[in-house]
Structure 1
Amino acid sequence: MLRTYRQAAEMFGVSERSVGSWWRAYRGGGREALAVRRRRRPGPQELISDEERGTLFQAMADYTPEELLIGGPLWTRAAVRELIRMVCGVVMTERGVGTWLRRHGFSPQRPARRACQQCDEKVRAWLEQDYPAIAARAKTEKAVVAWADQCGLRSNTALPGRFWAPKGRTPVVRVNGKRLRVNVMSAIASRGALWFTVFTGRFTAKVFTGFLDRLARHAGRKVHVIADRHPVHRSKAVRTWLDNNADRVELHLMPGYSPELNPDELLNADLKRHVHASRARSADDLAHETRRFLRRRQRQPHIVRGYFHARHVRYTIT
């Protein structure tokens, strides 16, 4: 049955031009001319052997460029290029190094920040022993586990992110020249609950214990609060209050210099990304915008639950 180019193109879902190319190839070489041939990429095969590649990857895992005296604290294409030259005697371009790294499962990534004062042993103990014990106790007591943290919003903070504009014409946004600041104390639970208080004064033991009191009342049962080692959290006034309210609130302090282990830090980042403090006209205006955002998140428990699925805090999901 004869068909036109258009009918064949509609049948195979291609253009009429492609059908014409196929037909000419068939007339010139028959069925074999229509077979797809995979062509080997021109140029020599990879010059780095499997054994050398394993040595390179092991060196990148065990050492930093600084330790090998060939670069900075992390691996860049230039540093990998020099490592390949030293180990294998192969000279590559930086672009070629990037292609080679991608071929073997590497990708350029924004590094996570870690405090040099962080103690790995204490973090490991927290992940493997301390937190599982807290979660087990809370489950036995039918209590709530709430992750708490405090943060501040300042009007002299730049708008987050970058914005598009013609080259050479930097965009301008009007901001308040006054220095305004509000503070937030918040707590979240893995099932999507969010509690908060917004204040303009200093963060003190009175503010913290007042927040804990309201948290326990709103939760309606005992609360195991997990927070960082802020001086206020360890103050004598807070310890006294906790002793007097041991049946309502129990405070657990995380390892020092480990904010990445607290899912409430993700709420803080979310808050700072969406509340543009630099555009507030007064401290009351900034406090109002902050409360409005946090109330919106209270009505969006699925977003709060999402904080707990970030890579570094998945251990909190029990």
Structure 2
Amino acid sequence: MRRLVPAAQEDLRLRVIAALESGRVGTYGQAAEMFGVSSRSVGTWWRAFQAGGRQALLVAVRQPRAGVGELLNDSARGAVLRAMRDCTPADIGLSGVLWARASVRALIKLVCGVSMTEQGVGKWLRRHGFTPQRSARRSYRQQPEAVRAWLEEEYPAIAARAKGEKAGLVWADQCGLRSDTAPPGRSWAPTGHIPLVRVNGRRFKVNIMSAVASRGALWFTVFPGKFTAKVMCAFLDRLARQADRKVHVIADRHPVHRSKAVRAWLDENAERIELHLMSG
């Protein structure tokens, strides 16, 4: 019934009433079965027709209204949505750092004094353009303005220098690797059967230093223990030898990258390697 346009809904109600009036059907249940509607709806329409005639059928069914399902006015709704866009739950005194339906429900109760079910909160969020998404990790110390300035001003200058010198340009970073870490992402599997990834019970961990060029060339080294200036210098030396030309390396502001030993090595090898540290 709700999938029909208003004119078709009115026509269906009139046909149901005509069937009852003519005696073709004797009960609400028979009319409901014949026309594919609910007995409750048939009874509502019949009583409305008896009380007010055909015109009453136009108001016998609840008409859609603007903002159906809305319990919050424009001001309250705007305050809740702004808080979700700009803050985490912990920022405003709630628990957690991610907005789940439970925390949004608590926020609505806190700001507006309105109680909603978690299911209702989910529908409300989707209605206003919010969907559940995987969160991106970002350091709370990151300075967005400095990052933007670096990308718009410093990086183009570095790329231009590398091109003018016919040098390589690579991005470098380091990370840890564990033997028992399951691969990231999701795997398709039959419903109710969780996919398994078998890992080695003998756990071990190593570190990786890598550098990748814009066209996909990759250099890396795997090492146990801590990331030190000695490891960094050895990697840069091998990178320069294998690239067979000068290389501009872009890296973050890790303490090792800024250490005296690394700076000294870079001064001695300025014709082979140049290190650029990102801002922010």
Q: Tell me if both proteins adopt one fold, taking TM over 0.5 as the criterion.
A: yes
1:67-109: CA deviations, max 9, x gaps? 4334433322223223334555543211111111112211112
| Counterpart among 50, 56, 59 of residue 80 in structure 2 | 56
What is the aligned partner in structure 1 of residue 182 from structure 2? 159
| Counterpart among 136, 161, 175 of residue 200 in structure 2 | 175
What is the aligned partner in structure 2 of residue 102 from structure 1? 126
Q: Which has the higher contact order (CA 8 A, sep 6+)?
A: 1
Give, in angstroms, the shift of residue 226 of structure 1: 1.1
- Measured on the aligned residues, the alpha-carbon RMSD in Å equals 3.7
**Unaligned residue ranges in structure 2 (runs of 5+):** 1-11, 16-60
| Counterpart among 181, 202, 209 of residue 185 in structure 1 | 209
Q: TM-score, normalised by structure 2?
A: 0.61
Indicate the structure (1 or 2) with the bigger Cα radius of gyration.
Answer: 2
Q: Give distance in 2, aligned partners of 1:66 and 1:189.
A: 39
Residues 1:244 and 2:268 aligned together: yes
Q: Give distance in 1, aligned partners of 2:164 and 2:85.
A: 42
The range that moved more, 66-75 or 207-216, is 66-75
Give, in angstroms, the shift of residue 233 of structure 1: 2.3
| Counterpart among 162, 174, 186 of residue 138 in structure 1 | 162
Q: TM-score, normalised by structure 1?
A: 0.55
The count of corresponding residues between Structure 1 and Structure 2 is 217
Q: Give distance in 2, aligned partners of 1:239 and 1:130.
A: 20
Distance 1:171 1:187, change over 3 A: closer
Distance 1:211 1:41, change over 3 A: farther
Residues 1:114 and 2:138 aligned together: yes
AA at the equivalent of 2:162 = A
Give, in angstroms, the shift of residue 141 of structure 1: 2.5
Residues 1:46 and 2:104 aligned together: no
AA at the equivalent of 2:200 = V
AA at the equivalent of 1:235 = S
Residues 1:78 and 2:115 aligned together: no
Conservation of the 8 A alpha-carbon contact between 2:168 and 2:213 = yes
Q: Give distance in 2, aligned partners of 1:169 and 1:127.
A: 42
1:179-209: CA deviations, max 9, x gaps? 5343322110111111122344654434322
Conservation of the 8 A alpha-carbon contact between 1:205 and 1:232 = yes
Distance 1:219 1:42, change over 3 A: farther
Conservation of the 8 A alpha-carbon contact between 2:182 and 2:199 = no
1:191-237: CA deviations, max 9, x gaps? 11111223446544343223222322332332110122333322333
- Percent identity of the aligned residues? 62
Structural mapping, 1:1-318, within 5 Å: 45-47=68-70, 48-155=72-179, 157-160=180-183, 173=198, 175-177=200-202, 180-200=204-224, 203-255=227-279
**Unaligned residue ranges in structure 1 (runs of 5+):** 1-24, 29-39, 257-318
Q: Give distance in 2, aligned partners of 1:50 and 1:92.
A: 17
SS of alignment partner, residue 196 of structure 1: strand
